[in-house]
Amino acid sequence: MMNDLPKLNLSYWALMLMCTTMGELIGNLISRNFSLGYTQGAIADVCVFAVMIFFILALKLMNEIFYWLLILAGNIGGTNLADWVTLDPLENDKKWGILKPLQLGTEHGSLVVLSALFVVLAIRYFVSKKSGERSPWTALFYWKAILLSSTFGTTSGDFITNDTTLGAFWGSVFLIILLVLVYGAYRYDRISKSTAYWLALVLMHPVGATLGNYVSKPIGLNLGNVYTNLALVLLFGMVYLNNARALSQQSRTITES
């Protein structure tokens, strides 16, 4: 699957950060503002994500647009799944019986989700060794890992925001410093490209969660979910189009030479 990713440049990570932040905010809109609750929101979002994966992989529709749609859908699903794992039930959740939220809290919930992510990544590693990076099974476990990394991003991001002295702003700064260290380790050949990618991805999701908390909630800028999302959609479109134009120009230059 690593071979099928969009080019891993600065634009890729900027788009990934925006998707994680939008996923956090849209997930909150679905479960809280639309009053679906964490259980119904998680079930609906994860089912939509699964159906999208099935059709895109089965019909071999994967391209950059579908890739980013899946990334966004995975982040939305991961946000509601994280809330289902960690938070107390909302009014709409109480009718779901054994499916109501687990209420593990952000600390224990983060540990459970991170353990599940490690298991999925280990399975993906062995599947890719046996079937190859382009195997549909390898791709399937890639997207499972995306969902779980997004879930961990929300649980750990909420833990940093609400249960540590760092809060949303300094929590974001701390995580960005860790991202820089991962880049430095990769740049100086201390870790492999694949390891650096997954470490960066796992760290990127809580950055999106803490930034989303800071920008949208009263603890920070308090812009709200709707206005923050609109601004991020516009910014995402600008970065995506600029990146596509730059790659097209680069390809044209190579062809002409």
Retrieve residue 175's tokens: 């995580």
Cβ neighbours of residue 251 under 8 Å, at least 6 residues apart?
none
Which CA distances in Å does 64 have to 20, 24, 175? 17, 21, 27
pTM for the whole structure:
0.91
Residue 23: predicted pLDDT = 92
pLDDT of res. 88: 94
Q: What mean pLDDT comes out for the span 197-221?
A: 88
Model confidence over 162-191: pLDDT tens digits? 999 999 899 999 999 999 999 999 989 899
Tell me what the mean pLDDT of segment 30-51 comes to. Answer: 93
Say what the pLDDT of residue 218 is. 86
Question: Does residue 59 carry a pLDDT above 80?
Answer: yes
Amino acid present at 87: L
The pLDDT assigned to 251 comes to 52
Inter-residue contact 124 to 141 (CB < 8 Å): yes
- Report, as an integer, the average pLDDT of 215-242: 88
Asked if pLDDT for residue 56 goes beyond 70, the answer is yes
Calculate mean pLDDT across residues 118-122.
Answer: 96
E strand or H helix at 194: helix 193-216
If pLDDT is split at 50, 70 and 90, which confidence band does 4 have?
low
Q: How far apart are CA 46 and CA 81, in angstroms?
A: 8
Residue length, the chain? 257
SS3 of residue 58 by DSSP? helix
Q: Is the pLDDT score of 81 beyond 80? A: yes
Q: Tell me the average pLDDT across 216-240.
A: 88
Average pLDDT of the chain to the nearest whole number: 89
- Class of residue 39 by CB neighbours under 10 A (exposed 0-12, middle 13-18, buried 19+): buried
Q: Please tell me which residue, 53 or 218, carries the higher pLDDT value.
A: 53
Q: Which residue has the tokens 């809280």?
A: 32
What tokens does 81 get?
A: 């799944």
